[in-house]
């Protein structure tokens, strides 16, 4: 996993199991993100391609 970077301003992240989610502030700390899919027409059709499962989470 890449080293965490500074908070991406104005990006709130509710994916608590993501390694880039700052659990205290719910901010994305990935530095940059990629969102898809290209053919999305609704919010439910989008995904954060930057998501990585936090090593401290057991599934």
- For position 5, what pLDDT does the model report? 60
- For position 3, what pLDDT does the model report? 54
What's the predicted TM-score (pTM) here? Answer: 0.74
- For position 17, what pLDDT does the model report? 94
In three-state secondary structure terms, 39 is: coil
pLDDT of residue 1 exceeding 60:
no
Integer Cα distance of 28 and 48 in angstroms: 11
- For position 59, what pLDDT does the model report? 73
Q: Within 10 Å of residue 17's Cβ, how many Cβ atoms?
A: 13
pLDDT 10s digits, 23-51:
999 999 998 899 988 899 998 899 999 99
- Per-residue DSSP letters for 35-57? EE-TT--SGGG-EETT--B-TT-
């Amino acid at each position: 996993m890449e080293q965490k970077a500074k908070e991406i301003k104005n990006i709130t992240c509710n994916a608590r199991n993501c390694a880039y989610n700052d659990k205290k502030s719910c901010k994305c700390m990935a530095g940059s993100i990629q969102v898809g899919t290209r053919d999305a027409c609704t919010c439910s059709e989008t995904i954060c391609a930057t998501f990585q499962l936090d090593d401290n989470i057991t599934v």
